[in-house]
Amino acid sequence: MRYEDSCVSEEINKYSEEHSSEEHPILQELTRQTHLRMINPRMISGKQQGLLLQILCKLKRPQNILEIGTFTAYSTIAMALALDDDAKITTIERNEENEDIILEFVEKAEQLHKIDLIIGDALEVIPELNKTWDLVFIDGDKREYEKYFDLVIDNVCTGGLIITDNVLWSGKVLIDSEIEKDEQTAAVDAFNKKVSKDSRVDSLLLPFRDGLMILVKR
Ligand SMILES: C[S@@+](CC[C@H](N)C(=O)[O-])C[C@H]1O[C@@H](n2cnc3c(N)ncnc32)[C@H](O)[C@@H]1O
């Protein structure tokens, strides 16, 4: 994510990074390799989001996590490093070209035993998964956010978390003309409206980086 996409200034982002825990060396290396090897490296979660996911995992101690949108596995590995040894992350990635870098870094981080990588379309894969989730991290195609929510909500346990990234979409959700002309902005805005009114969850739209929607299943 570029700082331009964040809802706080570059200076505040830098200060906040400097006054947070160190990033794990494998995640630093993964960030470097993602920038060298991937076409769209700005999709990576990055240090602050990784740390937030780790803190939530340490507090919640989820046993079963579902992640939609692995990319190069930054968030997957960040969460795995914070989980109990017998916890599992099922992570779904549509782009099969990402598989090599994902497995390379999951192995380097010695987290393979916690991770079940599924290469496929989350919209087709999720209905086939017969599991209850303690934490779901939604970070796939913005246009599909509402569908992901609908597919997972019944399988999230009471007190379970659904965390969704990029819900401010570089602030475009505030601009009517963007909502009218841009499919992704419209979809993110529709998702925010839908889940914040859904009586099955408590919701907090956190203005952190590009916006994180935090939902807790009632
Ligand atoms: C923003 S990136 C994910 C970033 C990653 N979570 C991280 O922390 O670095 C979005 C990823 O979702 C994948 N994706 C988009 N739609 C998908 C779908 N329907 N099923 C599975 N993966 C999908 C894309 O190929 C892309 O790699």
Q: What is the domain-level CATH number for residue 162?
A: 3.40.50.150
User: Cα separation of 130 and 117, whole Å?
Assistant: 15
Whether pLDDT at 5 is above 90: no
Give Cβ neighbours of residue 50 (< 8 Å, ≥ 6 apart): 23, 24, 27, 74, 75, 78
41-66 average pLDDT score: 97
8-18 average pLDDT score: 91
* Cβ neighbour number for residue 53 with a 10 Å cutoff: 25
120-147 average pLDDT score: 98
pLDDT at residue number 3: 52
Give Cβ neighbours of residue 185 (< 8 Å, ≥ 6 apart): 169, 172, 173, 175, 178, 179
Q: Which domain holds residue 112?
A: 3-217
Whether pLDDT at 95 is above 90: yes
User: Cα separation of 90 and 28, whole Å?
Assistant: 23
Q: Whose CA is nearest to atom 26 of ligand 1?
A: 71
Q: Whose CA is nearest to atom 9 of ligand 1?
A: 44
User: What is the tens place of the pLDDT at every residue in 157-190?
Assistant: 999 999 999 999 999 999 999 999 999 999 999 9
* Mean pLDDT taken over the chain: 96
CA–centroid distance, residue 73 to ligand 1 (Å): 9
Q: Can you tell me whether residue 162 is helix, strand or coil?
A: strand
108-137 average pLDDT score: 98
pLDDT at residue number 155: 98
Model confidence at 4, pLDDT cuts 50, 70, 90, reads: low
pLDDT at residue number 8: 79
Split into its structural domains, the chain has a count of: 1
pLDDT at residue number 6: 75
Model confidence at 118, pLDDT cuts 50, 70, 90, reads: very high
CA–centroid distance, residue 141 to ligand 1 (Å): 6
pLDDT at residue number 7: 73
Ligand 1 touching residue 164 (CB < 6 A): no
53-79 average pLDDT score: 98
Long-range CB contacts (within 8 A, 24+) of 146-153: 146/187, 146/190, 146/191, 146/194, 147/123, 148/68, 148/122, 148/123, 149/191, 149/194, 149/195, 151/122, 151/123, 151/126, 151/127, 152/66, 152/126, 153/198, 153/200, 153/201, 153/217
Whether pLDDT at 209 is above 60: yes
Ligand 1 touching residue 75 (CB < 6 A): yes
pTM: 0.97
The one-character DSSP state at 203 is E
> What is the pairing mode between strands 115-119 and 133-138?
unpaired
Among 68, 124, 150, 169, which is best to mutate for testing ligand 1, by the most ligand atoms less than 8 A from CB? Answer: 68
Q: For residue 41, which of 25, 30, 53, 52 has the smallest C-alpha distance?
A: 30
More confident residue, 176 or 7: 176
Ligand 1 touching residue 148 (CB < 6 A): no
User: Cα separation of 206 and 210, whole Å?
Assistant: 9
How much of the chain, in percent, has pLDDT values that exceed 90?
95
